Structure 1
Amino acid sequence: MSLNQNLQEKYPHLELSVLKLSEVKKDNESFRIDSEPFKKSNLYFNKNILYEKLSNIATINPSKNEISNLSQDTIVTFLSMQNLGNGFINYRESGQIVEFKNGYTYFMENDILIAKITPCMEHGKCAIATGLTNGIGFGSTEFNVFRIQDSRFLTAFVFCYLDRDSIRKTAADNMIGTSGRQRVPTAFYEKLIIPILPMSFQQEIEKMVKDSYKALEESKALYKKAEETLYLELGLDPLDPLKSIETKNQKNLNISIRSLKESFLKTGRLDSEYYQEKYEENNEIIKSINYGILNEFVSIKKSIEPGSEFYKDVGIPFVRVSNLSENGLSESDIFLDEKDFCLQYLKSLYPKKDTILFSKDGSVGIAYCVKEDKEIITSGAILHLHIKDKKKILPEYLTLFLNSVFVKLQAERDCGGSIISHWRVDDIKNILIAVLDFKIQEKISKYIEESFSLRKKSKELLDNAKIKVEQEIENLRN
Structure 2
Amino acid sequence: MLKGLEVSVISLAKANKNKDFRADSDFWTKEPKVSPNLNYDKIGNCLLNAQYGISIEMNEEKKGFPIYRMNEIHNMLCDFEVNKFADITNEELNTFKLNDRDVLFNRTNSFEWVGRTGIYKKIDNRDFVFASYLVRFVPNQKIILPEYLTTFLNTKFGIWDIKRRARQSINQTNVNPEEVKQINIPLLSKAFQLKIKVCFDNSTRYLIKSQELYKQAEQILLQELGLLNWQPTIKNNNNKTLKESFLQSGRFDAEYYQPKYDELLSRITKFDCKIIDKIVNIKKSIEPGSEAYQTEGLPFIRVADLSKMGISESNVFLDPNNFNVEELKPRKNTILLSKDGSVGIAYKVEEDIEGITSGAILHLTINDKNILPDYLCLVLNSIIVQLQAERDAGGSIIQHWKPDEIKQVIIPVLGDKTQKSISQKIKESFALQKQSKELLEAAKKAVEMAIEDGEEKASNYIKQFN
TM-score, reference length from structure 1:
0.86
Distance 1:418 1:282, change over 3 A: same
Distance 1:299 1:92, change over 3 A: closer
1:280 aligns with 2:266: no
Gaps of 5+ in 2: 54-63, 458-466
**TM-fit CA distance, 1:194:** 2.2
Alignment-derived partner of residue 391 in structure 2: 413
Alignment-derived partner of residue 360 in structure 1: 339
Alignment-derived partner of residue 4 in structure 1: none
Worse-matched range after superposition: 93-102 or 17-26: 93-102
Alignment-derived partner of residue 37 in structure 1: 27
CA distance in 1, matches of 2:183, 2:81: 29
Alignment-derived partner of residue 443 in structure 2: 465
Q: CA contact under 8 A between 1:273 and 1:413: conserved in structure 2?
A: yes
Matches within 5 A, 1:261-276: 261-276=243-258
Matches within 5 A, 1:311-322: 311-322=293-304
**TM-fit CA distance, 1:445:** 0.8
CA offsets per residue over residues 440-467 of structure 1, 9 Å max, x none?
1111111111111111111110011111
CA offsets per residue over residues 378-402 of structure 1, 9 Å max, x none?
1111111100023x10111101111
Q: CA contact under 8 A between 2:32 and 2:161: conserved in structure 1?
A: no
Q: CA contact under 8 A between 1:300 and 1:384: conserved in structure 2?
A: yes
Counterpart of 1:57 (choices 46, 59, 62) is: 46
CA offsets per residue over residues 198-223 of structure 1, 9 Å max, x none?
22222222212211111111111111
1:260 aligns with 2:242: yes
1:46 aligns with 2:24: no
Alignment-derived partner of residue 147 in structure 2: 156
Larger radius of gyration: 1
CA distance in 1, matches of 2:151, 2:296: 26
**TM-fit CA distance, 1:471:** 0.6
Alignment-derived partner of residue 307 in structure 2: 325
Alignment-derived partner of residue 71 in structure 2: 82
**TM-fit CA distance, 1:163:** 1.9
**TM-fit CA distance, 1:368:** 0.7
**TM-fit CA distance, 1:259:** 2.4
Q: What letter corresponds to residue 150 of structure 2 in structure 1?
A: F
Distance 1:95 1:447, change over 3 A: farther
CA distance in 1, matches of 2:296, 2:47: 37
**TM-fit CA distance, 1:165:** 2.9
Alignment-derived partner of residue 71 in structure 1: none
1:246 aligns with 2:236: no
CA distance in 2, matches of 1:81, 1:338: 29
Counterpart of 2:138 (choices 140, 147, 164) is: 147
Alignment-derived partner of residue 7 in structure 1: none
TM-align CA RMSD: 2.6
CA distance in 2, matches of 1:197, 1:444: 45
Worse-matched range after superposition: 332-341 or 378-387: 332-341
Distance 1:283 1:134, change over 3 A: closer
What is the SS of the residue equivalent to 1:368? strand
Counterpart of 2:210 (choices 219, 231, 238) is: 219
Q: CA contact under 8 A between 2:52 and 2:135: conserved in structure 1?
A: no
Alignment-derived partner of residue 229 in structure 1: 220
1:456 aligns with 2:434: yes
CA distance in 1, matches of 2:280, 2:111: 31
Alignment-derived partner of residue 61 in structure 2: none
Q: What letter corresponds to residue 359 of structure 1 in structure 2?
A: S
Count of residue pairs brought into register by the alignment: 444
**TM-fit CA distance, 1:139:** 1.2
Q: CA contact under 8 A between 2:339 and 2:361: conserved in structure 1?
A: yes
CA offsets per residue over residues 284-337 of structure 1, 9 Å max, x none?
111011111001110111112223333333222121111111111112222222
CA distance in 2, matches of 1:80, 1:309: 26
Distance 1:315 1:56, change over 3 A: closer
**TM-fit CA distance, 1:166:** 2.6
Alignment-derived partner of residue 372 in structure 1: 351
CA offsets per residue over residues 140-166 of structure 1, 9 Å max, x none?
111111112241332222221122133
Identity over the aligned pairs, expressed in percent? Answer: 40
Alignment-derived partner of residue 304 in structure 1: 286
**TM-fit CA distance, 1:135:** 7.5
Q: What letter corresponds to residue 238 of structure 2 in structure 1?
A: S
Matches within 5 A, 1:89-100: 89-92=78-81, 97-100=88-91
**TM-fit CA distance, 1:224:** 1.1
1:127 aligns with 2:118: yes
Gaps of 5+ in 1: 1-9, 65-74, 239-243
Distance 1:63 1:399, change over 3 A: closer
Q: What letter corresponds to residue 246 of structure 1 in structure 2?
A: P
Q: CA contact under 8 A between 2:151 and 2:443: conserved in structure 1?
A: yes
CA offsets per residue over residues 338-391 of structure 1, 9 Å max, x none?
3335x5xx112111110011111111111111111112111111111100023x
CA distance in 2, matches of 1:174, 1:62: 19
CA distance in 1, matches of 2:227, 2:162: 47
**TM-fit CA distance, 1:245:** 3.9
CA distance in 2, matches of 1:273, 1:165: 48
Alignment-derived partner of residue 3 in structure 1: none
CA distance in 1, matches of 2:32, 2:18: 13
CA distance in 2, matches of 1:309, 1:92: 33
What is the SS of the residue equivalent to 1:389? coil
Distance 1:112 1:373, change over 3 A: same
Matches within 5 A, 1:380-459: 380-390=359-369, 392-415=370-393, 418-459=396-437
Alignment-derived partner of residue 69 in structure 1: none
CA distance in 2, matches of 1:434, 1:16: 64
CA distance in 2, matches of 1:303, 1:442: 30
Q: CA contact under 8 A between 1:298 and 1:385: conserved in structure 2?
A: yes
Distance 1:360 1:474, change over 3 A: same
1:165 aligns with 2:156: yes
CA distance in 1, matches of 2:133, 2:66: 16
Distance 1:301 1:150, change over 3 A: closer
Distance 1:442 1:307, change over 3 A: same
Q: CA contact under 8 A between 2:161 and 2:183: conserved in structure 1?
A: no
TM-score, reference length from structure 2:
0.88
Q: CA contact under 8 A between 1:119 and 1:181: conserved in structure 2?
A: yes
